[in-house]
Structure 1
């Protein structure tokens, strides 16, 4: 199971939110590229990046820090937030991004996801953000009546590389991931599922790994706060 250190970008800084609330922000680093290098130096295999402003704006806002991270770090990175058209996808891949994460468009324009996955094989993931099992879009501000599992199953034949499943009510709250829901989703589809939201201890990582069906886990606040030692976690998961 791969551990993805998370760098959430707001106004050019590395931050963490609580429950996705832009008004509940903690700044962890004014230099996101330096933060990324710290994670790489500790041995991470991937980076997980989120353009929080972009998720609300519907277009990239924190492009400069993302590009700085891509230039500074030799490991692959995935990015979500404000990526809603083929041109933006192509631009990011050309700049060295390994994987784009499509969230809002997966609900509003699923044909775009299919087209992107076909045009850029291996480079497209879908981000499914849920509140009580139902998908939320536009930076989690808009709730839908679409169940996560139903949407995930609709992309079974699309060729996407992964699903990033976030339980919004767990995100940034340090209360542990929703292992039951994440495992159920991973067993319902053949697409690799990455857990996100609430991963806050080694016990959480070990429990996710023990399911034998969850391919990765994203953690942010716990790494910044020191609740999870990245080097030790990577060694344990290896």
Structure 2
């Protein structure tokens, strides 16, 4: 799990200026359950569940406050959770599972065809958002390539066609095929695996974080690197 610098006990400057960047030696490594993520190794599947229906746009039924509510000072109306509202929420939750599963189910076979055995991804963030990106890919032949080289090979493999045909993403007008594949490989794909490992909304809280994890395409597992170097892309750390 991530290396975390807790900001909750830090005294902020009186002039509301930003805190100085934390030092690498001030970070503490947290095991997965302590951070709110899953117990490792985290397993993922290439099976895609049936596509759930699109969630309906339903306005919750509002009922006026009761006499008891008014006596307690509650003047605003309260939402009544009807079966229709509950069904729409269930459909939205199902789609949150379906979309990443479809993404992984398309990407992993394509990576395996290129001889990719493992991916090494990094992540950082804190306060408002978490980020993840591809550092390198290890091939079965024993070599390692960076994200740009992997994106180029996938582009030559017509990987974007697969993503579009399976409804994972749409083509972006004005953007080259190479750039669209590179964006998917560098950021989007690793973010989905980071979410499996760290939990949805990782990076949101009063802290600064960084770390790295390995995705094994043979065993379909995600394992955090407890010895990850303090390499960041979106937060600043001093040595």
Task: Tell me which interval the TM-score lies in, with the shorter structure as reference length.
Answer: under 0.3
TM-score by length of 1: 0.28
TM-score by length of 2: 0.27
Name the one with the larger strand percent.
Answer: 1
